[in-house]
Amino acid sequence: MAAAGLVAWAALPLAGLALLERREAEAGFAPVEPVFAAVQAAPEREIREVGLTLDWSPAAELTAPVWHGLVDQILMAPGQRLAHNTPLVSVDGIERRAVRPPWPRAAALRSMPWPWPTLGSAVSARR
């Protein structure tokens, strides 16, 4: 009785595996056929009311870096709104643009993001 149970315990999984492999060989994917649909106007129009709330805040201050040279051309108009990458002036033929990085341009050393070294660590590393 134990021998029959051992044979069934080993034979049933092997028979199941053989059956699955045969079914897998018979199975296949459906052929791929391109589907085209013409663009058409929607049959109905949908109108929705939307609430809008504006929150005004003071503009960020932009500070200019130290530029050396001759200003060839002013590339902005008086009262023009500045945005990131707006051309400002041409200095010695080089176009200078407004830049607003995600971090402050100047900060105390203790608040600078890592891995910026402090002056003390740079001096001690040279010794």
Q: How far apart are CA 72 and CA 78, in angstroms?
A: 17
* 97 within a domain of the structure (yes/no): yes
Q: How many residues does the structure list for the chain?
A: 127
The beta strand positions in 1-127, using DSSP E, are 71-74, 87-91, 94-97
20 located within any domain: no
pLDDT tens sequence across 19-50: 888 888 777 777 888 888 888 887 888 888 88
Residue 88 in any domain: the answer is yes
> What pLDDT does 32 receive?
81
Q: Which of 99, 6, 8 is nearest to 60 (CA)?
A: 99
Look up the domain containing 77 and give its range.
71-103
* Per-residue pLDDT tens digits for 6-25: 788 888 888 888 888 888 87
| Tens-digit pLDDT profile for residues 44-101 | 888 888 888 888 877 666 566 677 788 889 998 888 888 888 898 898 888 988 887 7
Asked if residue 84 is part of any domain, the answer here is: yes
Against a cut of 0.85, is the pTM above it? no
* Encoded amino acid at 83, one letter: A
Residue 115 lies in a domain: no
Is the residue at 94 inside a domain?
A: yes
Domain count, the chain: 1
Determine, yes or no, domain membership for 53. no
Within a domain: 39:
no
